[in-house]
Chain A
Amino acid sequence: MNEREPRDEQNLARLIEAGFGPDARPEAAKRQEVLRRLQGVCRAEFGPAARAQARPANNGQAKIQVSSVEPAIGRARREQTEYKTNKQQRRNTLMSKLFSPWGLGLGAATAAAAAVGVLVLTTPRAHATATDVLAKGAQAVAQITSIHLRGQMRTAPADNLSMLAPTGPLVPIELWKQFEPVKKWRVEKSGRVEVMDGQSIVMLIRPRNLAFRWGPDEAKSDANWLQRVSNLSQTLTNELKSALAKGWKLSLADQRGADGRNKSVVTVEARSNLPDDDFLKNASIDLSDSRWVYRFDSQTELLESVQAYLSAKSGDALILDIDQIEYNQPIDPAVFTLQLPTNVAWAPTTKELLADKEKYPAMTPSEAARAFFEACGREDWAAAGKFWIGPLGDDLKTVLGGLKVISIGQPFTSAGGGDPFVPYEIQFKNGETKKFNLHIAKVSAGGRCVVTGGL
């Protein structure tokens, strides 16, 4: 043994302990969780579906298959199962098993809010540089015929496509859009899918298999924010430039990417302009104070990724990571055909909801909330159905039947506008109580109040 070795060993031991002691290693649970996520990434990237997708088609280009969504969706289901398990351990209410916080309709409220926007720069020169990057990016994407976005978002899988669940897991989200010859698109996360087949939009909410249909106007999609991202030339010119007027900040940085290529990174500080105590602040993409990071390849000037971070006093939190963008790849037509399950339940049309128009339109939101809950308490499902936008399934009836109303409060609205919320406290027949805010929508001007979320 070398005479230096004992001291050497002691020093090395201290060095290794300092650098690689237990504190400097991931916790076991986190380690397993991340490995599972990486397995999902690996399957999505290199699994059989991905290889099939990468296989050249007859025309020599990769063909995007509808089946490519499966790995992502499978991963989402696993993650959601894990999330639900944890959530149930934290707060084991029956309602949390059945409903996302807002259910339906909030997209309409948020649609009135601010668009993704930009800038205010510290110097005119920096401003010009950033807008130049955006303009070049817009030119680069002006000729695209199709786009395929893939990424992850912190959202409840079955909730509106714009709704955030900032403390929840990242859920895969995907968009396909063809611009020519007929504009069609599909947006999907594991619990909700919207397809515009050129004629109309059909939305399916899983696992309740509740379907909606409306016209082809994508502005009515509750993934409107993602549509804006996918309409790149508009995103990078009209919307971003128009947001200049809102006084939002923009910055530009040059980076070297992991692939060794130079990137231009445009960062936008979007502001909801809602007060901190507003009930809806940061509840959805459009009502969030968020930082948007658009990363362009400096050579091709094509957008390569988009990340959004929720701005909070405790620090920014990743809420959206669109890290794969493919352009001009042929998309399998099956992507734009939504295969509905055999037990699909179609939401009633507005006309159907407006039956009994003498009685129901006169109700205030609070009266409607009370009438809905009281009908549930009596298990009078015909009466409760007058206030419910979708079919009242057996799962709902099991949970809501026999409930007692403890209190119904005065309605309030977000400073961002939209339909009112009615505070309530109820007790389920198993003794559990719940205190929350019911989202009530007027289905048409002067129409009746319908519960669209908040259970």
Chain B
Amino acid sequence: MQATDDLALAALVTAGDEAALAALYDRYADPLFGFIYHALDHARPDAEEVWQDTLSAAIRALPTYRGQGQLFSWLCGIARHKLADHCRRRSRPGQDLLLVPPEDLTRLLDQGPLPEEVLSQKATCLRVVEVLGQLPPDYRAALSARYADGSSVEEVARLLAKSYKATESLLSRARAAFRAALSGQTEIQL
């Protein structure tokens, strides 16, 4: 469903629809930044440069997107190329970007509180951002507001213009989707 939406969005953008561009940007720009930011070990200026390059390249290449996968995965593919270019320019060893898949996060989720060392791993953060980027926008918005920004359920409800009950329900579904996506996530390779 998301891929279909993505394809329609991409088609509108390539038809010159700026509202579609803004929607695409709202949907994917932030998680894409997070992906690049973690890949570059939180070097913000570098991340901003690569992020911008990635988005510019993606817009230009958008006519080649055929809905073969989720648009966010496609964007991450372009980001990987840009990251590789960036690291090559900076003479950073390519291995820096060859991420080893993290521990099986879903297994760890079941075992108890997540260890800090797992939370601080680059691979973990990349995986989280990639999973979030693939979730439906309302799921991501709810999870982001509730857990990344620390908003209360009431605040999330106001943000999303939903009732308290509907927001609770949305959060529950979003968590389930996030967990499912996390377990089904394929290996991240840069």
- Please list the residues of chain A having a beta carbon within 8 angstroms of any beta carbon in chain B: 4, 7-26, 30-31, 34-35, 37-39, 41-43, 45-48, 50-51, 253, 255-259, 291, 293, 309, 315-316, 318, 323-324
Contact = CB atoms under 8 A, between A and B. Distances in A.
Interface in B1-29: 13-16, 18, 21-22, 25, 29
B42 A13 contact: no
A1 to B, nearest CB: 9
B120 interface: yes
Given A18-B119, A20-B144, A48 B113 contact: no
A18 B59 contact: no
Contacts of B25: 35, 38
30 contacts: A7-B112, A7-B113, A8-B175, A8-B179, A10-B113, A12-B147, A12-B178, A14-B114, A15-B105, A15-B124, A16-B178, A19-B124, A19-B125, A19-B127, A19-B128, A20-B132, A24-B33, A24-B129, A25-B30, A25-B33, A31-B30, A34-B29, A38-B25, A38-B59, A41-B56, A43-B18, A257-B81, A293-B89, A323-B56, A323-B60
Main secondary structure of the interface of B (DSSP, over half): helix
A255 B13 contact: no
Main secondary structure of the interface of A (DSSP, over half): helix
Contacts of A31: 29-30
B118 to A, nearest CB: 9
A256 B88 CA distance: 14
Interface string B140-154: 000110111110000
Given A20-B132, A23-B42, A4 B110 contact: yes
Given A13-B147, A38-B25, 11 more contacts: A4-B110, A7-B109, A14-B119, A15-B105, A16-B144, A20-B129, A41-B56, A42-B16, A42-B18, A256-B81, A316-B89
Contacts of A22: 148-149
Contacts, number: 150
B124 A18 contact: yes
A297 to B, nearest CB: 14
Nearest to B146: A13
A237 B32 CA distance: 40
A16 B90 contact: no
